[in-house]
Amino acid sequence: MRLLTHNFLKSNVKGTENGYPLNIEVTTINCEESPLDKLFLLNLLPKVNYPALRTAVQQISQHCVPPLPEIPEQLDVSDKESNQNLDHETLKNLHRVLFDVYLIEGWLVCPDTGRKFPVKEGIPNMILHEDEI
Amino acid sequence: EAEAEAEAQIDSELDAQAKYNKDTEHNNHNPIKPYHERSWKITIHTLGSTYTRQEQNEMRSKFSFLQFPGPVQMKHPDDEYLFIREVELDAMGGAVYPRHCKGEDGKTKKELIPENDARPPLACYFGRVLGNGTLGRNWRGSNRLFRYSLKKRTYLGPTSMDSELSLIMTNLAKVQKGSFAFDPFVGTGSILLTAALRGAQTFGTDIDLRVLRGRNPNENIVSNFQQYGLPPPELVRSDNSIYHRHFRKHLPLFDAIVTDPPYGIRAGARKSGSRRGDGEVRPVLEEYRYDHVAQTRPYAVSDVMADLLNVAAMTLVMGGRLTYVIPSMLDFNEEEDLPRHDCLKVVSVCYQPLQTELGRRTVTMEKVKEYDDRKRDEYLEGTWVNGPQSAEKVANIRERLIEAAKKKPGYEEKAAWRKQKRKETKEAKKRAKLEGADQGVNSKSPNSNDDSERG
Question: Are the beta carbons of A5 and B236 separated by less than 8 Å?
Answer: yes
Pairing of strands B201-206, B180-183: parallel
Q: A133 in contact with B at a CB cutoff of 8 Å?
A: yes
Residue B34: is it exposed, middle or buried by C-beta count within 10 angstroms (0-12/13-18/19+)? Answer: exposed
CA distance B343 to B317: 11
**Among A17-26, B95-104, B305-314, which stretch is predicted with the lowest mean pLDDT?**
B95-104
Residue B64's identity, in one-letter code, is S
A127: nearest CB among B238, B253, B284: B238
What is the dihedral sign for C-alpha A54, A56, A58, A62? negative
pLDDT of residue B291: 63
DSSP state of B63: T
Residue A60, classed as helix, strand or coil, is: helix
Residues in chain B with CB shorter than 8 Å from the CB of A125 are 209, 237
Q: Which residues of B touch A (CB under 8 A)?
A: 178, 180, 201, 203, 207, 209, 212-213, 217, 220, 222, 231, 234-239, 242, 245-248, 250-253, 272-274, 281-284, 289-290, 292, 294-296
Which 8-state DSSP code applies to residue B32? P
- All residues of chain A having their beta carbon less than 8 Å from the beta carbon of residue B236 are 1, 5, 9, 123-124, 126
Q: Which of B246, B251, B280, B311 to mutate to test binding with chain A, by most A CBs within 10 Å of its CB?
A: B246
Q: So what's the ipTM on this one?
A: 0.94
Identify each DSSP E strand in B283-356 by its residue range. Answer: 296-298, 316-329, 344-353
d(CA B184, CA B259): 7
List CB contacts (< 8 A) between B212 and chain A. Answer: 123
The lowest-confidence range among A117-121, B15-19, B167-171, B308-312 is B15-19
User: Which region among A5-9, A20-24, B17-21, B315-319 has the lowest average model confidence (pLDDT)?
Assistant: B17-21
User: B390: closest CA among B320, B322, B321, B309?
Assistant: B309
Beta-carbon contacts of B40 under 8 Å, excluding residues fewer than 6 positions away, are: B68, B70, B71, B72, B73, B77, B78, B79, B80, B81
Per-residue confidence (pLDDT) for residue A53, from 0 to 100: 94
The pLDDT confidence band at residue B185, using thresholds 50, 70 and 90, is: very high
Which residues of B fall within a CB distance of 8 Å from A49?
248
Ramachandran sector of residue B12 (left: φ over 0; alpha: ψ -120 to 50; beta: rest):
alpha
Say whether A131 and B222 touch across the interface (CB within 8 A). no
How open is the CA angle B69-B74-B80, to the nearest 5 degrees?
65
Q: Which residues of chain A have a CB within 8 Å of the CB of B209? A: 123, 125, 127
- With an 8 Å Cβ cutoff, are B246 and A130 in contact? no
Query: CB–CB of A5 and B203 under 8 A?
Result: yes
> Which residues in chain B touch residue A116, judged by CB atoms under 8 angstroms apart?
290
Looking at every residue in chain B, the average pLDDT score rounds to 80
What Å distances lie between residue B443 and B244, B439, B446, CA to CA?
Answer: 71, 9, 9
For the stretch B124-177, pLDDT in tens is: 888 888 765 433 444 333 445 555 666 666 676 666 667 788 989 999 999 999
Among residues B68, B44, B78, B77, which one has the least CA distance to residue B58? B44
The alpha-carbon gap from B3 to the nearest alpha carbon of chain A, in Å, equals: 40
Average pLDDT for residues A37-66, to the nearest whole number?
A: 91
- Name A75's Cβ contacts closer than 8 Å, sequence gap at least 6: A50
Cα end-to-end distance, chain B, whole Å: 80
Average pLDDT in the B363-387 region?
Answer: 93
Query: What confidence tier does B449 reach under pLDDT thresholds 50, 70, 90?
Result: very low
User: String of b and e for B241-273 (b: at least 16 CB within 10 Å)?
Assistant: bbbbbbbbeeebbbbbbbbbbbbbeebebbbbb
DSSP tag of B219: B
- Which among A4, A123, A126 is the nearest to B246, CB-wise? A126
A131 touches chain B (CB under 8 A): yes
Beta strand B254-259 with B180-183 is parallel
What would the pLDDT profile of B195-247 be if each residue is shown by its tens digit?
Answer: 999 999 999 999 988 889 988 888 889 998 988 888 899 999 999 888 888 89
Kindly report, residue by residue over A5-32, the tens digit of the pLDDT. 999 999 988 888 889 999 999 999 999 8
Evaluate whether B191 touches B216 at the Cβ level (below 8 Å): no
Beta bridge partners of B204: B183, B235
Q: HSE on the CB side for B336, CA within 13 Å?
A: 9
Q: Which of B180, B234, B290 sits opposite A2 (nearest CB)?
A: B234
Residue B153's CB is within 10 A of a number of other CB atoms, namely 19
For residue A32, what is the nearest residue in chain B, using CA coordinates? B231
Mean pLDDT in residue range B8-13: 63
Report the residue from A12, A43, A131 with minimal CB separation from B245: A12
Nearest CA in chain A to B292: A129
Q: Is B100 helix (H, G, I), strand (E, B) or coil?
A: strand
Helix (H, G, I), strand (E, B) or coil at A29: strand
- Tell me what percent of the residues of chain B surpass a pLDDT of 90: 27
Cβ–Cβ below 8 Å for A12 and B246: yes
A33 to chain B, any CB pair closer than 8 A? The answer is no
How many Cβ contacts (< 8 angstroms) between chains A and B? 96
